Structure 1
Amino acid sequence: MDTVLLNNKEKDLEIAAEFIKKGEIVGIPTETVYGLGADASNEAAVRKVFEAKGRPADNPLIVHLADFSQAVDYTSAIPALAYKLAKRFCPGPLTMVLPKNDRIPMITSGGLDTVGIRVPSHPVMHRIIELAGRPIAAPSANTSGYPSPTSADHVMRDMNGKIAAVVDGGSSEFGVESTVISIEGESTARILRPGCVTREMLLEVCDEVIIDHAILHELEAGQKAASPGMKYKHYSPKADIIMVEGSLEGFISYVGEHNGDSVYSLIFDNDRDNFPYRYMTYGKDSSQQAHLLFQRLRELDDIGAKVVYVRAPETEGVGLAVYNRLIRAAGFEVIRI
């Protein structure tokens, strides 16, 4: 098919909503990354999403709503804590995993009896949901396993000819996918995938916040993924990504010992003056690193990098989300100096 590039004006958003109502797929901007939007209640439409991405069928999709009050239509139970979290973080980059009802097909939930619910804050995505009048399943709009898209150009490069349209809503604000949590008991949240809603922020509402083991480690054999981004190698460019933990001096020494043709490094902004090898920077702090990470990984492919050594970010705050994406892009290959 010919993929139509739309703008963010009302007339084009109406066209995008019509595509979704007809069971087609549309690349849509959100505040996190661009999503591949489809009617979450339409099995045939959701199947097209998996086909376009080449996504494994047991990798659940997140369902996006215009308002959290609509969650009652697609879930079988909503804990009191979920309402408290929604009041604080919705709309925004927080996804809550809740028991689903039959209005959400099993293909959408990856075969689970739960579904991730999110209310996006991006005005374009929000308006398309309103115009479509449908719950919208929207995994990242990239080829499965490749770095997530943060611009309409990224989506067109991955999805041109595979989906009906892409809506250009500018660059994504946050640059990494939403924080995904499950709720345990009356006052505990478990982070299944870190994002820009951090553990520290969740503790403003929850008595306890648990960091799931799978955030920094591979799932055990046979373990089901309760959230997108938990089970498979993700976010990885064509280049081999190797994360290196340690001081700048140690990093420079290690790269020097392994330097060669088509070898690049991904470093912090304030490292550049002392770094003697080929490099790109990806920000001076965790928020900038989150915003730039996927863009930089795609740019490294564009310039022909074959091996990329990455200075490991911190694991506090938003840094945990950046570290999580990188460790999966690296296939859990981390060098500790």
Structure 2
Amino acid sequence: MTSGQFVSKCTADAMARAAQTLQAGHLVAFPTETVYGLGADATNASAVARIYEAKGRPADHPLIVHVGDMQDIADWSDDIPDYAIALARNFWPGPMTLILKRSALAQDFITGGQDTVGLRVPNHVIALALLSEFKKLGGKGVAAPSANRFGHVSPTTAQAVSDELSQYLAPEDVLLEGGPSLVGVESTIIDCTTESPKILRPGAITEEMIEAVTGIDISYDATEIRVSGSLENHYSPNAQVVLDIAPENGDGFIALASTPTPDGVIRLSSPQSNEDFARVLYTSLRSADEQSLSRVVVHQPSGDDISVAIRDRLLRASRGR
């Protein structure tokens, strides 16, 4: 890295130092089970502003606050419906973000000026250790969008973070190495501000799973709540992404392993399952750019599991930056 400190051995001492980095108002990029996040003290306006600067992110685009335990959400919201508590008990730590009415702690620089806040407990040993150490220092939570430039492909490895953001980080910032992300696509975002939950961004926690836990049908009412990753153009590599057509000579190709590779086509990945597809998707799109490919053809997986999230990300990626 040209800037920042790359930490490959995330010992207890390293976690304590990273927490001190957050407390001092600097940035810490860290692994989660979904993708890598770029974190700052969620109560420090100047630190959070550096996230927006490093990412090139619009100032009205809200951030997700990561906390270490579901009990911590009471700091951030004064209005938590029973079904949101049920979801938290069942799926946290895990790849789920709850949108709740904000408390006074959640300032406009986190919420994008909205009266709601997004909260999540990540399921990664390093992320949880960092949050625990930060809490010992009095920290209330870590604001952390994906650790990439805005609109680009999210990073699922520390190297991808370094490639994407090293020139935008300061020498005091830290990047924690934690291996590849195991889920590979961002968290399910659920609006919990009305009588019925509403999925604002699909992820590994599916509609069926939400309804099974809450006993409430998913709402499909329109909402004006802005959340991460909700723009029509997002998750895009430099290469053009084209969906569900026959690949041509020189194209990059992503499809389940059961789909053969035509002659002259560059196979970027051959996932064995929908879960594997999600895990390798962003790495495969980054590989296309590393090979300077002009077009990537993706045959999308079917189903109502994590494939819903995969298709959501690919549709946005296909619209370009």
TM-score relative to the length of structure 2: 0.91
- 2:119 aligned residue: 117
The sequence identity of aligned pairs, in percent, is 35
Secondary structure of 2:168's partner?
coil
Secondary structure of 1:269's partner?
coil
Q: CA deviation at 1:228?
A: 0.7
Match of 2:160 among 154, 157, 162: 154
Q: 2:34 touches 2:184 (CA, 8 Å); kept in 1?
A: yes
Amino acid at match of 2:158: A
- 1:233 aligned residue: 233
- 2:47 aligned residue: 45
> Would you say how many aligned residue pairs link Structure 1 and Structure 2?
311
1:298 aligns with 2:286: yes
**Aligned-pair Cα RMSD in Å:** 2.0
Q: CA deviation at 1:143?
A: 1.0
Q: 2:183 touches 2:278 (CA, 8 Å); kept in 1?
A: yes
**Structure 1 residues without counterparts, runs of 5 or longer:** 215-222, 245-250, 333-337
Q: CA deviation at 1:160?
A: 1.1
* 1:46-61 equivalence runs, <5 A: 46-61=48-63
Q: Distance in 2 between matches of 1:319 and 1:104?
A: 33
- 1:92 aligned residue: 94
More displaced, 307-316 or 106-115?
307-316
**Structure 2 residues without counterparts, runs of 5 or longer:** none
Provide Cα deviations, 1:43-84, integer angstroms capped at 9, x if missing partner: 111110000000111211100111111111111211111111
1:192 aligns with 2:179: no
1:3 aligns with 2:12: no
TM-score relative to the length of structure 1: 0.87
1:243 aligns with 2:243: yes
Q: CA deviation at 1:315?
A: 4.5
Q: CA deviation at 1:314?
A: 1.6
1:178 aligns with 2:187: yes
Q: CA deviation at 1:123?
A: 1.1
Provide Cα deviations, 1:162-220, integer angstroms capped at 9, x if missing partner: 2311000111110011110012654x211111111111211221233437589xxxxxx
Provide Cα deviations, 1:233-284, integer angstroms capped at 9, x if missing partner: 111000011112xxxxxx43xx3xxx35x53222221113x52241322412
Secondary structure of 1:235's partner?
coil
Secondary structure of 1:210's partner?
coil
Q: CA deviation at 1:91?
A: 1.1
Q: 2:30 touches 2:39 (CA, 8 Å); kept in 1?
A: yes
